Structure 1
Amino acid sequence: MNSALLPAAAAGFGTGLSLIIAIGAQNAFVLRQGVRRQAVLAVVGICALSDALLIALGVAGLGAVVTAWPTAMTVIGLAGGAFLIGYGALAARRAWRPAAAQGLTAEGAATGSVRTAVLTCLALTWLNPHVYLDTVLLLGSVAAERGDLRWVFGAGAMLGSLVWFAAIGYGGRLLSGVLARPVAWRVMDLAVAATMLTLGGMLLARTL
C-alpha cells in the first residue's frame, strides 16, 4: 500500500489545484492583499486552513448530509451573492474615484485595517457556495473512490490549496512595481469589480 501513497497524494494535489486555480472572488482578494503586502500571512492562513477543514469534512462524508439539506445552500447562496455584489460595488467605486484608493500601494498598506482584511477574507471564503461544492461535495466524492487512501488524497488536496494561496499571496508583491501607478490600480479594481459583480449576480440568479 505504501507504493500507492504518493500517487494518491499527487492526485489529490492536482485535483485540489484544478478546483481553486480559476480566478474567483477569493483568489482576487488574496492577490490584492499580496500586492498591498497587508495581512498576507493571516489571509493565506485563513484560506488554506478553511480549505483544509472543508476538504476534511468532504473526505469524512459530510457531502451526503449537505445534499440532504438544500435550504443551507440556498441561504449561503443569497448571503454570498449579496456580499460579492457589495464588495464588487466598492471595488468599482475605488476605480471610479481614484482618490478613494489612496494608500493602497505597498508603501501605504499600513493605513488599511488588518481586521477588515481578515473579516472580508472569512466572508469571501465561508459565504461562497462554490467552496462547499468544490471541497465538500466534489473533492469528497472523488476522495471516496480512493477507499483506504482517501485521507492521503485529501492531504494532497490540502497541500495544493496551501501552495496556491501562498503563491498568489506572497507572489503578489512582485506586482507592486507594476501597480505603483494609480492607473494600474484602477485597472485592477475594475477587474476585481467585474469578477465580483458577475459571480454575485450568477449566485443570486441560480439561488432565486
Structure 2
Amino acid sequence: MANKLYAMEQLTEEVAKDVAASPQEWMRFLNTASRLYKYTFPEQLLIYAQRPEATAVASMEIWNQKMYRWIKKGSKGIALIDNTSGPKTKLRYVFDVQDTYKVRNLGKDPQLWNLPVEGEQLVADYLQEQLSLEDIEGGLAESLHQAAKESMQEWLPDALEELRLDVTGTFLEELDEQNQEVEFRELMTNSVWYVFLNRCGWMHRNIWM
C-alpha cells in the first residue's frame, strides 16, 4: 500500500506538470475538472490521469447504498489520496458511472444537471443579483466571467504566496511580484471562467473566442 500511495503522490506531481505544459493540455484537464467540480484539485488531477472521460464519480459505498448500482466485474477503481479521514494518509477508490450497472427495479441514474438555453438569462440575472453586479451586456457568458473574478478574491492571496515559492523554471520567474500577480490572476480567472462555461453547456452551443 505504501508503494501504491507513493506512486499516486508521484503521479499527482507529474500530471500537474503535464497539464501546465501547454494551453491545450490545460484546457483538456479543465474539461474533466468541470464535470468533477466537487473534488479537490489534486483529486481532479488523479481522476484526469486515470479516467479523463469520467462524468460521475463516487465510492463503491455510494453507488451500492444510495444509487443501488453494482460495480461491474473487472472494473478498476480510480485511486485518490485521502488525508482527511484519519491520522494516516491512505488511498481511497472511486468509480465512474460507466463502471457500474443498475440493480433491477431499484437502480438509479445519477442526475447530471444541465442548463438549457432558455435558462441562461435566468442564471445571468441571478448572478447579477447575488454578486451585486452592475447591469452588463453579454448575457450568461459575461455574468459567469464576473462570477469567476469574484471567486478569485478570497483565495488569491494564499495562492500567490504558494506560487512564489515555486516559480523556478517558469516564465513567471522573470517577472517581478506585481506582474506575477497580474499574470496569475488572469490565468486563474480565465480558467475558472472556462470551467463555468463548460459546465453550463455554453461551450457546446457557442464558439470559444
Q: TM over 0.5, yes or no?
A: no
Q: Which structure is higher in helix share? A: 1
TM-score normalised by length of structure 1: 0.28
Decide which structure has the larger Cα Rg and report it.
2
The higher relative CO (CA closer than 8 Å, separation ≥ 6) is in: 1
Instruction: Kindly indicate which of the two structures has a greater share of residues assigned to strand.
Output: 2
After TM superposition, the score normalised by the length of structure 2 is 0.28
